[in-house]
Amino acid sequence: MDEPAYTVVSDSETTGEEKSSSAFPEIAIGIDIGTSQCSIAIWNGSQVELLKNTRNQKMMRSYVTFKDEVPSGGVSNQLSHEHEILSGAAIFNMKRLIGRVDTDPIVHASKILPFLVQTLDIGVRPFIAALVNNVWRSTTPEEVLAIFLVELRAMAEMQLKRPIRNVVLTIPVSFSRFQLTRIERACAMAGLHVLRLMPEPTAVALLYAQQQQLTVHENMGSGSEKIALIFNMGAGYCDVALSATAGGVSQIKALAGSAIGGEDLLQNMMRHLLPDFENRFSNHGMNEIKSMGLLRVATQDAIHKLTTQTDVQIDVNLGNGSKVSKLVNREEFEEVNQKIFEKCENLIIQCLHDAKVEIDDITDVILVGGCSYIPKLRNLVMGICKKEELYNVINPLEAAVYGAALEGAVASGISDPFGNLDLLTIQVTPLGIGIRADGNNFVPIIPRNTTMPARKDLVFTTVRDNQIDALVTVYEGEGEKVEENHLLGYFKITGIPPAPKGVPEINVCMDIDASNVLRVLAGVILPGCPHPAIPVMEIRLPTVDDGHGWCAEALYRTYGSTLDLETVQKKI
């Protein structure tokens, strides 16, 4: 097979850069990797500037095609036609696939994409492959992302005439820490160092904070606090954030997110136009790939048109004598996607609830992302927030990358004489983090929407007499049962002194530091003992590698409840 196009930065190169950076601090660039589009921006000394590729595009399609000797991505590759992405040779939607195992519904929904996504439904990584000269060339979302990032990096280095090393990337709110490690790995493959991974709406919140700072400069530190609701929906993900802003400090009050986006709207619409399309497409033959591509492009086109017109005529010839010819109106589109819109609504309500913010207190409602042009969504968000209009001094497609570039400059220690970088974001944890205890339950130790840095602990105990080992399985998510959450890792506490069940006190402490690194500490004591029974264990998480979803299952099958823990009831 071809040599991979990504490079791994050598040590010498790294140290060379660090030396030069001491004299002249390197400004980290901001990258917004979208499910469908991608952009890159940097603080140029006085403001944020979006970089353009050689074809003068600020927004580049997120895909990599394997059809040539060297894979090429949407940064450099010139598409002759949209259909080229849909030929089977190109991989896209990698942001939807990265860090997911083959039992994930999102992976299953990706089976109708023109490239190959196969699942065995046992909790390992899915088989993903591009069709190149009638041969399936296997790849991974990390590799595809890395190839794409290499192109982005080359483009930026060419324009800025300096090596690029540090980046701030935006990520969906619903990404688990395991998914974040996949993103970091892709960056490492591309020779990039991740300075920050920033949830998309919090990047937008930072831009908003800067804009507010500019308008009321005199009231530094105090001044009136502005509450903003930020709703972001792109092709792959939907995020909501509530931020309280004053004096350049953007305090995130709550986050909510889900893997729903334009891709789901599109698939529902395709199903509406051609009800048996999934069956038709299941064997991934050349002809099926082609006709599916045609339907996809036509449907996408129609959805775009429905943002400005009330109805649209779809006429597409799928080959093999089958044709779709239909007049679709906006109501139909909204009805077909009713469930998606309901989920969006729930996310907003949940976020408002978690932030303990009253609707009347919201100053501005900010809508960003590719789906923000959909009239139904605009009305829905304005309806919930009881607002007549949306915050309109922000570009919905560029806001996230703009915020990422601001954060890149701030985190690189750059200051601006005019105070334009006098900014701070106070982040919260988007998902709860806890362990398995009390049977198969997920017991959160750091609840979601906890301000970071954070440190919390809980006391657990043994479930059996003379239990000397205990398994600490760390999960992230919101589900009550462990299997509804993301597995981050597990480790065994060994050498617990024999004692009746319920006597040893097992303290599990979780710590998230300023750079969002999660550590888990576990210690054991017996009542009446002056010293901890065993040395405190400290583990950095996540520890799981690809496809370890099934490992947890295997663990529980092998050990049953012999290594279980339960929470110590709080005395009231």
Partner 1 sequence: MASLSLSSSSTHFIGSKVINGSEFHSRPISVNFRPLRVSAAAATCESSTAERTRRSTYNMPRHISSPASLYEVLGIQMGATCQEIKAAYRRLARVLHPDVAAATRQNDDNTAFEFMKVHEAYETLSDPEKREVYDLSLFRQRRPVSSPFAMSSSAAAASGFSGYTRRSWETDQCW
**Nearest distance from C-beta of residue 521 to partner 1, angstroms:** 3
* Binding of partner 1 by 79 (CB under 8 A): no
Closer to partner 1 by Cβ: residue 163 or 502 = 502
* Binding of partner 1 by 82 (CB under 8 A): no
- Are 460 and 500 spatial neighbours (Cβ–Cβ below 8 Å)? no
**Nearest distance from C-beta of residue 403 to partner 1, angstroms:** 14
Q: What is the DSSP string of 63-124?
A: EEE-SSSS-EETTTPPPS-GGGGGSSSEEE-HHHHTT--TT-HHHHHGGGSSSEEE--SSSS
Q: Give the residue, chosen from 4, 419, 497, 502, that forms a contact with partner 1 under the rule CB under 8 A.
A: 502
Q: Give the residue, chosen from 60, 312, 399, 410, that forms a contact with partner 1 under the rule CB under 8 A.
A: 410
Q: Give the residue, chosen from 507, 543, 561, 567, that forms a contact with partner 1 under the rule CB under 8 A.
A: 507
Nearest to 91 by CA among 66, 120, 126: 66
Choices 39-47, 324-332, 372-380, 423-431; region in contact with partner 1 by CB under 8 A: 423-431
* Binding of partner 1 by 514 (CB under 8 A): yes
Closer to partner 1 by Cβ: residue 527 or 560 = 527
542 cis-preceded (ω within 30 degrees of 0): yes
* Binding of partner 1 by 80 (CB under 8 A): no
Residues 459-478 that bind partner 1 (CB under 8 A): 459
Nearest to 184 by CA among 168, 207, 199: 168
453 cis-preceded (ω within 30 degrees of 0): yes
* Binding of partner 1 by 453 (CB under 8 A): yes
> For 200, phi and psi rounded to 5 degrees?
-50, -50
Q: How far apart are CA 569 and CA 572, in angstroms?
A: 9
Q: How far apart are CA 414 and CA 256, in angstroms?
A: 31
Two tokens, residue 139: 């790849």
How many residues form the binding site for partner 1 (CB under 8 A)?
Answer: 50
* Binding of partner 1 by 538 (CB under 8 A): yes
Two tokens, residue 2: 């071809």
Q: How far apart are CA 473 and CA 201, in angstroms?
A: 30
Bridge partner list, 43: 48
- Are 79 and 86 spatial neighbours (Cβ–Cβ below 8 Å)? no
* Binding of partner 1 by 247 (CB under 8 A): yes
**Nearest distance from C-beta of residue 453 to partner 1, angstroms:** 4
Two tokens, residue 441: 């339950």
* Binding of partner 1 by 122 (CB under 8 A): no
* Binding of partner 1 by 246 (CB under 8 A): yes
Closer to partner 1 by Cβ: residue 480 or 538 = 538
**Nearest distance from C-beta of residue 516 to partner 1, angstroms:** 10
Q: Give the residue, chosen from 99, 257, 523, 549, that forms a contact with partner 1 under the rule CB under 8 A.
A: 523
Residues near partner 1 (CB under 8 A) are: 221-222, 225, 244, 246-249, 251, 356, 410-411, 413, 415, 424-426, 451, 453-457, 459, 502, 505, 507, 509, 511, 513-515, 521-523, 525-532, 536, 538, 568-572
